[in-house]
Amino acid sequence: MVSLNREDEASGPVVSGFAGNAFRVADRIVPGGLWLTPDDAKDWDAPSVEALEASSLAGLLAISPPPEFLLLGTGDMLKRPPAKFVAALEAQEIGVEAMDSRAAARAWGLLRGEERWIVAALMPLG
């Protein structure tokens, strides 16, 4: 298992490491996709990057107030999300930052340590 060390601790759920192809959040291992909000972490049955639609993330984006942006982890490597998906989120004034899921998990902890009001959708690692 790989642990993530941070000087600033984020409030709310944090990915504390990886166990093989799974995320470690608090005391549980999440083998599939993962949704993160400032208050919660939920398992996510993620579609492929190519199949992403704004409706795929409706439950995640419904937090109040709306998130500043979405950290999108696209799995083992960076894949560009569909332009239609990005445009739909930007129309809701929610930016999209795509990166591989491990990088997104690390960025989540750093940005939440700064108390940024964001959400993350992390696709499975393997």
CATH (residue range 2-122): 3.40.1230.10
Q: What percent of the chain has pLDDT over 70?
A: 92
For 71, how many CA atoms within 13 A lie in the half-sphere containing its CB? 25
Q: Given pLDDT bands bounded at 50, 70 and 90, which one contains residue 10?
A: low
Task: Note the pTM of the prediction, 2 decimals.
Answer: 0.89
What pLDDT shows up at residue 7?
A: 42
Residue spans of the domains in the chain: they are: 2-122
| pLDDT tens-digit readout, 51-100 | 999 999 999 999 999 999 999 999 999 999 999 999 999 999 999 999 99
Asked whether the predicted pLDDT for residue 8 surpasses 70, the reply is: no
* Per-chain mean pLDDT for the chain: 91
